[in-house]
Amino acid sequence: MSDAQTGELSGKVAIVTGSASGIGQGIALGFLRAGARVIAADLNANVETRNLAARERLEGQLHEVRADVTQEDDIARIIEAAQERYGRLDIMVNNAGGSGALEPILDIDAKGFDLTFALLVRSVFLGIRHAGRFLKAQGEGGVILTTGSIAARAGGCSPSLYAAAKAAVVQLSAMSAVELAPYSIRVNTVSPGPIMIPGFASSGISAEQLIALQPWPEAGQPSDVAAAMTFLASEKCRFATGSDWVLDGGILAQGPLWLERLYGKST
Ligand SMILES: NC(=O)c1ccc[n+]([C@@H]2O[C@H](COP(=O)([O-])OP(=O)(O)OC[C@H]3O[C@@H](n4cnc5c(N)ncnc54)[C@H](O)[C@@H]3O)[C@@H](O)[C@H]2O)c1
């Protein structure tokens, strides 16, 4: 038997949004290796994700859907694809996202606000709503995971509106966990710190620069988020719901570094 047949997610069907790049690609590949069948949903074609899966002979477990997660019809279509292709759904990962409006608050207009919240919050609401309704009707429980960010908890991590949107996502997820618990549907957020994605590399940011921000001596990778989500999606984590799992190499624990900034030393 291959790993995929004996893995932690063997027999499960998962949707991963934003699967064509970065963290979502890592989650899709991690889930495939753990034995899940995956609907890979993205605005862009999953060319690289498909090629990477093929290298490990896992492409047969992968089905691609082009979709815009800000659009309700598209979210409904992704769920339908899971039912049509694999006959069920077990895990929904609301991961697709982007930076949103980059300007200071005073310079963002209402349109910029709406577009940012559509990409980062409305998309998650739609994912929870549609997957939640499907899983409830299926009657076998399920798991909904969302990619949050440590920007929800501290300043200096992102543009202001992104931070506000991610804070909304964390609480939306927690409240959904309370409402969906009676149906054995677990809802959790994973909140990464800086994770090495192609976007960083193409703008000249190195792993060493990320490491310098944090106590942990290695840069966070998409596979680290995938490992956390695989565990959270598995039966081993059956009591975890409503949580926000920080995955940041210790950045939040490190805090504002005021001793170092005032006195040039940390203790
Ligand atoms: N990389 C980090 O350091 C970091 C840290 C914390 C949180 N995050 C979060 O991780 C998630 C994934 O981002 P990433 O860092 O992997 O970036 P990425 O740009 O590498 O990947 C984002 C993916 O989402 C897709 N996407 C964007 N808008 C979409 C839409 N409307 N519909 C469908 N797909 C869409 C893109 O095509 C892309 O494939 C985001 O929610 C982001 O906020 C990233």
Is the distance from the beta carbon of residue 25 to the nearest atom of ligand 1 less than 6 Å?
A: no
pLDDT-based confidence at residue 5 (cuts at 50, 70, 90): low
Give the mean pLDDT of the chain.
96
Buried-state track 113-143, b at ≥16 Cβ within 10 A, e below 16: bebbbbbbbbbbbbbbebbbebbbeeeeebb
| 162 annotated active-site | yes
How many structural domains comprise the chain?
1
- Per-residue pLDDT tens for 26-57? 999 999 999 999 999 999 999 999 999 999 99
Q: How far apart are the first and last CA of the chain?
A: 53
Cα 181 from Cα 92, distance rounded (Å): 15
2 has a pLDDT exceeding 70: no
For 205-244, write each residue's pLDDT tens digit: 999 999 999 999 999 999 999 999 999 999 999 999 999 9
Compute the distance from residue 97 Cα to the ligand 1 centre, in Å: 4
Residue ranges of alpha helices (H) inside the chain are 3-6, 22-33, 47-55, 72-86, 110-117, 123-138, 160-180, 198-202, 207-211, 222-233, 251-254, 258-263
Nearest CA to ligand 1 atom 17: 22
d(CA 89, CA 134): 8
Q: The CATH number of the domain where 81 resides is what?
A: 3.40.50.720
143-149 mean pLDDT: 98
Ligand 1 within 6 A of CB of 74: no
Range of the domain at 165: 3-263
Ligand 1 in contact with 147 (CB < 6 A)?
yes
Q: Residue 83's pLDDT is what?
A: 98
